[in-house]
Amino acid sequence: MAKQHYLDFEHPISELQARIDELTELHNGVDQLDVSDELKKLRRKLADLNKSIYSKLTPWQIALVARHPQRPYTLDYIGGMFTEFVELHGDRGFSDDRAIVGGFARFDGKSCVVIGHQKGRDTKEKVARNWGMPRPEGYRKALRLMKLADKFSLPIFTFVDTPGAYPGVDAEERGQSEAIGRNLFEMAQMRVPIIVTVIGEGGSGGALAIAVGDTTVMLQYSTYSVISPEGCASILWKSAERASEAAESLAITAPRLKALGLIDHVVAEPSGGAHRDPVGMVQNLKPLLAAELTRLSELSPSERLQQRRARLAAYGAVKVAA
Amino acid sequence: MSWLEKIIPAVKGDTVGKRGVPEGLWLKCPNCDSVLYTEDVEKNQHVCMKCSYHMRIGARTRLNGLLDESGRKEIGAEVTPVDSLKFKDSKKYPDRLKQATEATGETDALVVMQGAIEKVPAVVACFEFEFMGGSMGSVVGERFARGVDAAIKAKCGFVSVAASGGARMQEGLASLMQMAKTNARLAELAEKKLPYISILTDPTMGGVSASFAFVGDVVIAEPGALVGFAGPRVIEQTVREKLPDGFQRAEFLLEKGAIDMIVDRREMRATLARLLSAMRS
């Protein structure tokens, strides 16, 4: 397994883990030395420490977990929950944007279309996938695949994990706004079930462009926000340093958004976050997606569309005078 | 400095709104510095007589210029904002709202009016940029939706006039969701085969640009309007190079094929009437 990457607030965890690793090595190297009791004790302590640190994460710390470099990405979930994935490429107009992946797959044996933002692991892949920030052609590829799903009456699963749509000259030239707006417009008309899961960063319009659906699921330590905490802080306080305050104000965490009625489900992550136990994460997530698919499949397309639109219409809080 | 000025340079100082109408008899064109007689500028729909610069105007001034005088009815005025996040930065959100209301006379950043344009029935939704940078929160989304509903009910066209810095941060994710909400309602309008014309004015950015602004059956921009997804400063910081001249301006968008046409404000009413009738068989 790759070396574990620790976030700043995880220091006590990393220190304890280092001690455990050291002892384990010693234990393996010298037969006579019996440290198994000590190891057991330390491991229990580690579990407790994980639990206690992770039980009181601030919204900003959660934002950091959501961006953890070892967090499972879309292709990890596709590998873990789907079979027979056939990746399809390109928007047919300009290029293939690798910040978005998608294609046909099977979920519990049933054919479906799966689409998601994709970040890279190493530097080379990060560049190729543009840190998960799509350009217009990425959204247009996603729309092309959604239209395929609609044509063949296949449910759509989307996985959201992006810092945002790419803010670049070329993206503007090719109509970033139009591409995002078009997807929102079209997704409100798809006659097949659309199941959205926010697995990491739900960054603004760039996230929403594949996130209009019948149900929105968020992993416990994922975030979904109109603007990044840093962006918000630099605008409101003229200082990105105050991102932690902004994260608090913006209400970007799954439980808070559930309470506000803006998302539908929160899925618990394994102790210490999804990246500590990707298999456990998939085990937590898959039954919910299966249940949502069953529930949505029982509705007729027009009932589903009506419910989706009613959900969208209800978003937001206003006062209405009699 | 408001958050919007940070994204869009030189936002202030060239807007003429309901209460923003300069007190003086004379005003200076923000573009060519010509000193102009205020009354003449008003008669000319706040377009500079010397250089044709389109000054920013308030929502009601705009609606007055577009709609026929008789038979107007405001839609959605009963919908007003709430502070569901208890959002606080240097100022509390309710205080910002209060301040914006005092400055503009409006209760939020969108004014919707049903009426007719040269006798062609239409519903027009118009942004008030001076109200918190025309930012889109729950009220803007709900008024927009009610406007589209009214168009569907009256079987007429819907026109939006955008002038916005994007989503309203103070309402958090709910403001992002207004992008989906407005476009879902436009999808219903489209299913009824009713026309939607989107007018982009200076500036149209972020979440407003990336939702209903570009899904019009016809998309029109005013001359010189700044329109884009990301603000020029954000892009400059990302690409670390100077942006080309005219980048994200209406003329640039036309050249890139992003919009159908650029229309002078003084021709807008006639153009809308013609387009709206063209889209009815």
State phi, psi for A45 to the nearest 5 degrees. Answer: -60, -40
Cis status of the peptide bond prior to A69, with omega within 30 of 0: no
Q: Residue A240 — very low, low, confident or very high, per pLDDT cuts 50/70/90?
A: confident
pLDDT (mean) for B218-246: 92
What is the signed CA dihedral for A163, A164, A165, A169, rounded to 10 degrees? -80
A48 closest CA partner among A96, A12, A21, A72:
A12
Q: What percent of chain B has pLDDT over 70?
A: 91
Model pLDDT for residues B32-47, shown as the tens digit of each residue: 999 999 999 999 999 9
In DSSP terms, B112 is beta-bridged to: B75, B125
B126 closest CA partner among B67, B79, B82, B189:
B67
pLDDT (mean) for B235-248: 89
Residues in chain B: 281
Contact: B174, A235; criterion CB under 8 Å: no
pLDDT higher than threshold 60 for residue B15: no
- H helix or E strand, kind and range, residue A219: strand A215-219
Buried b (16+ CB within 10 A) or exposed e, A6-36: bbeebeebeebbeebeebeeeeeeeeeeeee
pLDDT higher than threshold 90 for residue B88: no
Contact: A316, B186; criterion CB under 8 Å: no
Report chain B residues whose CB lies below 8 A from the CB of A205: 167, 176, 179, 206-207, 210-211, 229
Model pLDDT for residues A260-273, shown as the tens digit of each residue: 999 999 999 998 99
Which one of B7, B142, B179, B186 makes the best mutation probe of the A interface by having the most chain A beta carbons within 10 Å?
A: B179
Closest-CA residue of chain A to B86: A249
Stronger pLDDT, B20 or A225, i.e. the higher one: A225
DSSP letter, residue A116: E
Sign, CA dihedral A133-A139-A141-A142, equals: positive
Distance of alpha carbon B66 from the chain centroid: 13
Report chain B residues whose CB lies below 8 A from the CB of A167: 229-230, 234-235, 238
Choice among A9-13, A169-173, B88-92, B169-173 with the minimum mean pLDDT: B88-92
Choice among A29-33, A214-218, B11-15, B271-275 with the minimum mean pLDDT: B11-15
Contact: B183, A205; criterion CB under 8 Å: no
This prediction's pTM: 0.94
What 3-state class would DSSP assign to B142?
Answer: helix
pLDDT (mean) for B148-168: 98
Distance of alpha carbon A292 from the chain centroid: 17
Chain-wide mean pLDDT for chain A?
A: 95
Stronger pLDDT, B6 or A80, i.e. the higher one: A80
Task: Read off the amino acid at residue B196.
Answer: Y
Choice among A150-154, A238-242, A315-319, B276-280 with the minimum mean pLDDT: A238-242
Model pLDDT for residues A274-298, shown as the tens digit of each residue: 999 999 999 999 999 999 999 999 9
B254: phi > 0 → left, psi -120 to 50 → alpha, else beta; which?
A: alpha
Contact: B258, A250; criterion CB under 8 Å: no
Q: What's the CA gap between A50 and A64, in Å, rounded?
A: 16
Contact: B169, A176; criterion CB under 8 Å: no
Token digits of residue A30 = 């010298």
CA distances from A297 to A98, A110, A193, A213, B165 (A): 30, 12, 7, 13, 39
pLDDT value at position B240?
85
pLDDT higher than threshold 50 for residue B12: no
Contact by Cβ (8 Å): B108, B139: yes
A219 closest CA partner among A147, A133, A278, A178:
A278
Contact: A250, B169; criterion CB under 8 Å: yes
Report chain A residues whose CB lies below 8 A from the CB of B183: 181, 184-185, 188
What 3-state class would DSSP assign to A314?
Answer: helix
CA distances from A282 to A81, A274, B254 (A): 7, 9, 47
pLDDT higher than threshold 50 for residue A1: no
Model pLDDT for residues A171-228, shown as the tens digit of each residue: 999 999 999 999 999 999 999 999 999 999 999 999 999 999 999 999 999 999 999 9
Token digits of residue A243 = 């991102």
Q: What percent of chain A has pLDDT over 70?
A: 98
Q: What's the CA gap between B107 and B100, in Å, rounded?
A: 8
Closest-CA residue of chain B to A182: B215
pLDDT value at position B13?
46
pLDDT value at position B23?
62
pLDDT higher than threshold 70 for residue A149: yes
Contact: A165, B87; criterion CB under 8 Å: no
User: Which stretches does DSSP call E strand in chain B?
Assistant: 15-16, 26-28, 35-37, 56-57, 73-75, 79-81, 110-117, 120-127, 157-164, 196-205, 218-221, 227-228, 261-262
DSSP letter, residue B243: P
The CA radius of gyration of chain B, in Å to the nearest whole number, is: 18
**A:B CB pairs within 8 Å:** 199
pLDDT value at position A33?
67
Half-sphere exposure (Cβ direction) of A41: Cα atoms closer than 13 Å: 6
pLDDT value at position B1?
46
pLDDT value at position B90?
82
Token digits of residue A211 = 């996130």
How many helices and strands (H and E) does chain A possess?
Answer: 14, 9
Contact by Cβ (8 Å): A56, A65: no
Model pLDDT for residues A88-113, shown as the tens digit of each residue: 999 999 999 999 999 999 999 999 99
Closest-CA residue of chain A to B219: A178
Chain-wide mean pLDDT for chain B?
A: 92
Token digits of residue A70 = 């070892």
Å from B23 to nearest chain A CA?
A: 31
Q: Residue A35 — very low, low, confident or very high, per pLDDT cuts 50/70/90?
A: confident
Token digits of residue B277 = 């009738």
What 3-state class would DSSP assign to B128?
Answer: coil
What 3-state class would DSSP assign to B189?
Answer: helix
